[in-house]
Amino acid sequence: MDEAGMNAGTLGLLGGRLSLDFANTADWHASDHSVESLTSYSDLVAWSQHVGILTDHRAQRLLKEAARRPVDATAVLERAIALREVIYRIFSAISHGHPPQAADLATFNAELSGALAQSQIVSTAEGFTWDWAGAEDALDGMLWPLVHDAAGLLTSEELDRVGQCADDRCGWLFLDTSRNRSRRWCSMEDCGNRAKARRHYERKRAVRRGARAK
Ligand SMILES: [Zn+2]
């Protein structure tokens, strides 16, 4: 478990969308033995730096603040994981053509209200963009862009491109940007190859069984 947590800052980002990568911070998510990547508040900070929603400067400030307020930091970690599970279940259901659970949507909306209360529009050289008031020091400031991204995806035309890895234990979510919407695996190198190897093995076994039956 600890070993997995150390990887939070280097996790593969295969989701194609911030909120889906967040959902993928547990490995073997669809199995009964998922492996947690966010095992501490500092893991959450490391992952947030990794995906670019926290600058190094802000990350350092938050880690200092977390050291001063460990109970609050742990509460934020627990909230982050609960939010991640809700996002995972909502998009997992949608990827299979099912509506999400009402309770999950309610939890999601409670987090969204909190994030929207902090949201503001700022003017930059490239135009206007979303920003978060008070995010500099808020221990939970990294949750706001995550929930905002998930809300954006839920209401976008890309929603029907959300898919889930065809490996029945993996469960990783992704945005299928292939032209004919044929993406089946989180990664061809990982789950895709494993499935290919398994098919190859099963074919060989079937051939051998056939030979023996003769
Ligand atoms: Zn997979």
**pLDDT(214) > 90:** no
Q: Are 47 and 14 in contact (CB under 8 A)?
A: no
Alpha carbon 70 to its chain centroid, in Å, reads 24
pLDDT mean across residues, the chain: 91
How many A from CA of 197 to the centre of ligand 1? 14
How many A from CA of 31 to the centre of ligand 1? 11
Which residue bears the tokens 């990887």? 7
**pLDDT(39) > 90:** yes
Q: How far apart are CA 123 and CA 102, in angstroms?
A: 36
| pLDDT category of residue 13 using cuts at 50, 70 and 90 | very high
pLDDT value of position 73: 98
How many A from CA of 171 to the centre of ligand 1? 6
Quickly count: other Cβ atoms within 10 Å of residue 192's Cβ. 17
pLDDT value of position 15: 93
How many A from CA of 62 to the centre of ligand 1? 32
Mean pLDDT of 51-66: 95
Q: How far apart are CA 62 and CA 41, in angstroms?
A: 10
How many A from CA of 142 to the centre of ligand 1? 26
How many A from CA of 24 to the centre of ligand 1? 10
Quickly count: other Cβ atoms within 10 Å of residue 142's Cβ. 24
How many A from CA of 21 to the centre of ligand 1? 13
How many A from CA of 89 to the centre of ligand 1? 16
pLDDT value of position 137: 84
Q: What percent of the chain has pLDDT over 90?
A: 76
Q: Which pTM was predicted?
A: 0.88
Mean pLDDT of 143-169: 96
| pLDDT category of residue 213 using cuts at 50, 70 and 90 | low
Q: How far apart are CA 11 and CA 47, in angstroms?
A: 8
How many A from CA of 53 to the centre of ligand 1? 25
How many A from CA of 182 to the centre of ligand 1? 14
How many A from CA of 190 to the centre of ligand 1? 7
pLDDT value of position 7: 83
pLDDT value of position 155: 98
Q: How far apart are CA 49 and CA 55, in angstroms?
A: 6
pLDDT tens digits for range 185-211: 998 888 988 888 888 777 777 777 666
Q: How far apart are CA 92 and CA 213, in angstroms?
A: 43
Q: Are 92 and 164 in contact (CB under 8 A)?
A: yes
Which of 18-27, 150-159, 181-190 is predicted least confidently?
Answer: 181-190
pLDDT tens digits for range 164-182: 999 989 999 999 999 998 9
pLDDT value of position 4: 45
